[in-house]
């Protein structure tokens, strides 16, 4: 049980990544593929946050002179994930706008039918 408690965030993040990749590969509906991409993106963000986590860690603010820097949580993964969330939202909005344009042009969101109509 201790192993599971120690690595639950890694297990959950890899689970989200694999679920998102499965949806990307297995589904042909464009909206479902975009949702799968977003799930995989959330898994990557959770993995990055999990890497920078320290048990009983403190905020990386040097307010007292006797603080131990080894007990502070690394702020770099948090900044990277914050940037990745903003980029993920922009990619999601762009992908959904492309999906709307494809639906207006081909009258379907099924990628197989779009490929057939394209050729």
Task: Give strand pairing partners of 29.
Answer: 110
Q: How much is the pLDDT for 53? A: 78
The reply to whether 89 falls in a domain is: yes
The range of the structural domain enclosing residue 49 comes to: 2-106
Q: Taking the model in full, what pTM does it have?
A: 0.84
Query: Tokens standing for 38?
Result: 């977003």
Reported as a single tens digit per residue, the pLDDT across 91-109 is: 999 999 999 999 999 999 9
Q: How much is the pLDDT for 1? A: 63
Confidence band for 119, pLDDT divided at 50, 70 and 90: low
The reply to whether 42 falls in a domain is: yes
Nearby residues of 104 by Cβ (< 8 Å), 6 or more positions away: none
Strands (E), 41-102: none
Distance (Å, whole) CA 40 – CA 25 = 12
Q: How much is the pLDDT for 72? A: 79
Mean pLDDT calculated for residue range 39-60: 87
The reply to whether 114 falls in a domain is: no
């Amino acid at each position: 049980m201790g192993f599971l408690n120690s690595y639950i965030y890694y297990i959950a993040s890899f689970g989200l990544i694999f679920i998102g990749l499965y949806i990307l590969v297995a589904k042909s509906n464009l909206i479902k593929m975009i949702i799968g991409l977003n799930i995989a993106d959330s898994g990557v963000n959770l993995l990055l946050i999990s890497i920078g986590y320290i048990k009983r860690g403190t905020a990386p603010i040097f307010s007292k002179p006797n603080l131990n820097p080894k007990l502070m949580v690394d702020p770099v993964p948090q900044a990277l994930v914050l940037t990745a969330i903003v980029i993920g939202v922009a990619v999601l909005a762009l992908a959904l706008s492309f999906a709307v344009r494809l639906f207006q042009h081909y009258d379907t969101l099924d990628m197989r039918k779009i490929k057939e109509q394209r050729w």
